[in-house]
Amino acid sequence: DILIADRQGAIWMIIECKAPMINLSEKTLLQAAQYAGSSKSKYLMLTNGNEVFLASLDPSPQHISYWPDYNSG
């Protein structure tokens, strides 16, 4: 896993890296979201090297189709 912190040191995004043979299913996403949520991360990226899934975790996991602005807080 890769953690990206904001300027105050809080976890801003967790990038969860899976093996290429692991399918990014809803189950995989929910497991990653639970882990990311417990760290109070704002965003989650889940990838297997072939697919990328981005989610906002505030207030609950929601798929997003854009890269979040790091400078917006």
pLDDT digits (tens, 9 = 90+) for 43-71: 999 999 999 999 898 777 788 888 898 88
Q: At 24, list the tokens.
A: 């990014």
**Is residue 31 helix, strand or coil?**
helix
pLDDT given for residue 31 in this prediction? 83
Query: Quick check: 44 and 14 in contact, CB under 8 A?
Result: yes
Place of tokens 């975790």: 57
Grade residue 33 by pLDDT with cuts at 50, 70 and 90: confident
- Is residue 24 pLDDT above 80, yes or no? yes
Q: Mean pLDDT over all residues of the chain?
A: 88
Q: At 6, list the tokens.
A: 């904001």
**Angle (CA) 37 43 49, round 5°:** 105
Q: At 31, list the tokens.
A: 């497991």
